[in-house]
Chain A
C-alpha cells in the first residue's frame, strides 16, 4: 500500500491556460474525492467518484472544472481557462465503500496551483 499519490506537486501557469492534475488512489479503494484548499482554510469538497461513476459535484464547482476517472483507477482534474482565483492546493483522497458515510478518507500530498 503506497498511499495516495498526486502529480504534479506544484504547477505554475498563466491566466487563461488549461491545467490537468492526476491522482492515483490506494489500489483497493473504489471511492475517490477531489478537494480544494486555500491558505488558512479547510478542504472544500469538489467532487467524488465511486469506481468510474461521478456521483456528486459540489454546487460551487465552476463549469471550467471537469474530472474523470475512466477506468475506475486513477483520476484527472482539469481546469480550463484558469483564473487567479483558482490558485489553491488541490487535494485528492480515496476510501473504501462502507455502509454509510463512516469510512475514512486517505489524502494525498496535494498539487499546489499558482496562476499568475
Chain B
C-alpha cells in the first residue's frame, strides 16, 4: 500500500540556518504530494503542494520538488525563523484499486532558536 516516510525529529536549528526535512513515498499510482504544517495549538495548514513529476511547490520561503525518480519530496528553506517552529507533515493523495486514499507521514518537529 501507499506510505510516506519522513526524517525523524526533533530538528533544532538556529535562526537563519538552512532547513531540509526529507520525505520519501511509496505509491502505486501517480500521487499528488503535499506539505502541511501544524503550529502549536492549531490545526493543520497546507504549506505547499505538487501534482506531477518535476513540479516545484513553494510558499512562505519553503520549497519542495516532486522527484519521481527518487520518490522524494524534500522540504527546504534557505533561512528559518523562530516563527517556523512547528510540526511538518508530508502527505500524498492517490487513487488505487480500492479508491482514493490519503496518507500522512508521522511528522517532523522543528524548533528554531533565536
Contacts and interface: CB of A to CB of B under 8 A. Distances in A.
Interface of A: 4, 33, 35, 40-45, 48, 55-56, 59, 91, 93, 100-102, 104-110
Interface stretch (B13-21, B74-82, B88-96): B88-96
A4 B46 CA distance: 14
Nearest to B4: A42
A104 B100 contact: no
B32 interface: yes
Given A102-B51, A104-B49, A45 B101 contact: yes
Nearest to A109: B43
Contacts of A55: 99-100
Top 4 closest A-B pairs, CB basis? A42-B104, A101-B93, A107-B43, A107-B44
Nearest to B36: A107
Contacts, number: 60
Given A41-B106, A42-B105, A42-B107, A101 B95 contact: yes
A100 B106 contact: no
Contacts of B43: 4, 91, 107-110
B42 interface: yes
Contacts of B105: 42
A90 to B, nearest CB: 12
B31 A107 contact: no
A104 B34 contact: yes
A42 B100 contact: no
A84 to B, nearest CB: 22
A60 to B, nearest CB: 11
5 contacts: A4-B43, A42-B106, A101-B95, A106-B46, A107-B36
Interface in B50-84: 51
A42 B99 contact: no
B103 interface: yes
